[in-house]
Amino acid sequence: MSNTAICPACVGLPEGALEAATAKGTAQIILSLPGIHCIACINGVERALRARDGVVSARVNLSMKRVTVGTNGHVAPETLIDTLELAGFEARALDTSLLGSTSDTYGRGLMTRIAIAGFATMNVMLLSVAVWSGAVGATQHMFHIISASIAVPALIYAAQPFFHNAWSALSVRKLNMDVPISLAIVLAAGMSLYETFVGGAQAYFDAALSLTFFLLIGRYLDHRSRKAAASAAAQLAALEVPRVMRLRDSLRQMVDFADLRVGDTIQVLPGGRIPVDGIITDGQSQIDRSLLTGESRPLHATSGTAVSAGEVNMTGPLTIRAMTVGADTTLRKMVTMVDAAESVRNRYTAIADRAAAIYAPAVHLLALSAFVVWLIISGDLRLSLNIAVAVLIITCPCALGLAVPAVSTTAAGRLFRAGLLVKDGTALERLAEVNTVVFDKTGTLTMPAAGHTALDPATRSIALALTQNATHPVSQAIAAALIGTAPATITDQREHPGHGLSARYDGRQVRLGSGAWLGTQQGTYIQIGDQMPQKIALRSDLRDGAADLVAAWQAAGLTVHLLSGDDTAETARVAGLLGIEHWQAETKPDAKVQYIKTLAATGAKVLMVGDGLNDTAALAAAHASVSPATAADASRAASDIVLLNDSLRPMIDLPLVARSARQRVLENFAIAAGYNAIAIPIALLGFATPLLAAIAMSASSITVLLNALRLRGRV
C-alpha cells in the first residue's frame, strides 16, 4: 500500500461546495480515496484520471472520499488505481453493486416530502396572513379555496408515511403513535375544507401542513441517526474486492468476487486488498490489518500465515488459498454485526412502545372528552371540534417514541467511529448498569510471545502445524516464533477450550497445551505420543493501552478483576503491573462462569472482557461483554461489543458513553412528560389553536432529537 499523498494545500484551504459524484461514459468505476483532504487533492485526482486513455470523466466527492470515473468500458479498476498511485494518491477499489444497494431511498423520499410540505406551508401561511389582516367576504373565501387547492394535494402526498403506518396498525386492530398523528392531520384538514365549503371564517390548512412538516423533519432526523452505523457497514462492505486474480491450471484469470469458491487459489499483488479469508501458500509480505483491527504495526506474513478479507498486501505478491468466501469472510461478518446492532430493539425502546400503545387510546379518549365537554358548555360544534383537534395534535406521542432510538443509534454510531461495534441493541443499557469488570488475561490484557525454546526440528514442525491456523494468542505467538520451519502433515486436528490443541501425526496423537492437561507442571507444553512433554517458553507483554484502560475504569468507579488460566506467578505479575487487587489464576472455563455468577449474587453487574474459546461461556453469562476482533469466532458471537482496534484505549470511554446515553434517555422522557404536563391543560382550556398545537408538538420532538445528538460530540 502506498503512502498517503502529501497535500501542501491542506492548510489554509477551505472545503468547497461539493457536488454528488456522477460520471459520464459507458461504464462507471468508483474508487475510495482515503488520503484526500482538500480542493488541491480533488484537482490532482481528477487531472491524473482524465489524462488516462479511456477515461471520459472523473468527479471527486471529498466528504465521502470517493471518485466516480466514467470510462469507455475498456479500463480496469486496477489501471486507475496504478494511475493514482503514480500521482501520489492512495486508492482502493469499491464494489459498485454494494454501494448501489445501500442507496437511501426512504431518506430521499422523506426529504422530498419535507420539501413539498414546507413549500405548501409557506404559501398557505402567506394566504393566512392576508386573512388574519382583515380579508372578509368573497376575498376571504377565495383565499381559503386557494389554500385548499395547495394544502390538500400536498397533505395527501407528504403525510403518506403517517397514513400508511396508521392504516397498518388499524388493519390488525392495534394502535400506534401514527394513529393520533394521522387523525389530527385528517381532522384539521377536514374541518378546514368544511369551513371553506360553507364560507366559514376559520380554516386550519396551515396547522395541518405545519404539523406534517415538523413531524417529517423529526422522522428524517431519526432516520439519519439510525442510518449512521448502517452507512459505516455499507462502506465496509464496499471495500470488498469486486474482481480477483484466480490461478487455475497455471492460468491467471480475472474473475468476479462472487465466482470464488472455497479452495480456489488467488493472487494478490502489492497494494491490493485481500478478498477472502485464507492461508498464504506462496510469497511473503507485510500485511496492513488496520481496517479490521486498528493495528498500526504491519504483520509479517509468509507461507502458512492466515490472512483475512479486508487486509492490505503491502510489499510482495502473495498466493492465497481461499478458506472462506462471500458471506463467511471476516469482513462480511463485521458488516453483519453492524447490521445486527441496528435491528435489535432494547428494553427501553420496548417500554416506549408500550407507553405509546397505552398513550394513543388515552389521547383519543381525552380529545373526545374535550369535544363533549366543550359542546355541552358552549353549544358550538366548530369550537368544540377545534379544541378536540388541538388536543389531538398537541398530545401526539412523537417525542415519547423518539426518546430511545434517537439516543441508542447516535451512541452506537459514535462508538463505531471510535472502533467499537455494538452488536446487541440492549448492550448500552446494560453497560450503563455495570459496576464490576472481569478481564481475561492472555490475549486481552496481555499478548503472548514465544521465547527461546530448545525443540528438535521434528517437534518444531509439529508445533507449527498445530498452531499456524489456530486463533488463540498463545498459538499465534508460537507460530510466529517458528517462522521458517516447514509445517508437518497432521490430521484430525481439534481445539479443546481451556486446554489446548490435539491432532494425529504419523499414527500418534500429538497435543499442545497447558501443563495441567498434559499431566505435568505449569506452563505450555507439547507432547508427541507417549514421549515426555516438552516445555515451550512463553512471555507475556502488556497489550497497548491496557494500563490506561484499567486505571481509567477504576477511576470511573468500576471494580476490576483478573481471571486467567495461566499460572499463579504470571497472573500475579500482570495483576501487579496493572494495579488489580482481585485476581485468580489457573481458572478453567466453568470456573470463570462460576466466578461471574458469584459476583452477580452479591449484586454486582459484571462486564466480561475476553477473547478465547474458553471465555465464551463467561462472556454469555456476564451482564455485558466485550471481545477484540482478533478473538475466536465463538467469543465474538457471544459478546455484545467487538473492539476493532489492536489498542485497548478506545474502550476507555465505553462506560461513560453508555452512562451518558442512559442519562439522555431519562432526559428525553422528562422532556416528553414535562411538555405534556404543560401543553395538555392549555389545549383543554381552549387556549391553543391547531396551528399553535402543531408548532409546540413539533418543537418537543426536535428538542428530543437535538438532545440525543449531543452524544456525537461529548459524553
Tell me how far apart the alpha carbons of residues 461 and 453 are, in angstroms, rounded to a whole number.
Answer: 13
3-state SS assignment for residue 448? strand
**Selection from 190, 231, 194 nearest residue 207 by Cα:** 190
Name the grid cell of 384: 368544540
Tell me how far apart the alpha carbons of residues 512 and 666 are, in angstroms, rounded to a whole number.
Answer: 52
Other Cβ atoms less than 10 A from the Cβ of 358: the count is: 12
Burial classification of residue 19, based on how many CB atoms lie within 10 Å of its CB (0-12 exposed, 13-18 middle, 19 or more buried):
exposed
Residue for grid cell 486496477: 78
Between helix 39-50 and helix 77-86 the angle, nearest 10°, is 120
SS (H, E, C) 185-203: HHHHHHHHHHHHHHCCCCC
**Selection from 64, 60, 81, 61 nearest residue 2 by Cα:** 81
SS (H, E, C) 590-644: HHHHHHHHHHHHCCCCEEEECCCHHHHHHHHHCCEEEEECCCCHHHHHHCCEEEC
Strand 436-440 to 606-609 pairing? parallel
CA distances from 46 to 21, 32, 56, 86, 517 (A): 12, 13, 11, 13, 62
Name the grid cell of 302: 509468509
Active-site residue (options: 95, 206, 288, 440)? 440
Burial classification of residue 93, based on how many CB atoms lie within 10 Å of its CB (0-12 exposed, 13-18 middle, 19 or more buried):
buried
**Selection from 219, 241, 543, 204 nearest residue 390 by Cα:** 204
Verify whether residue 440 is a known catalytic residue: yes
* Residues designated as active site: 440
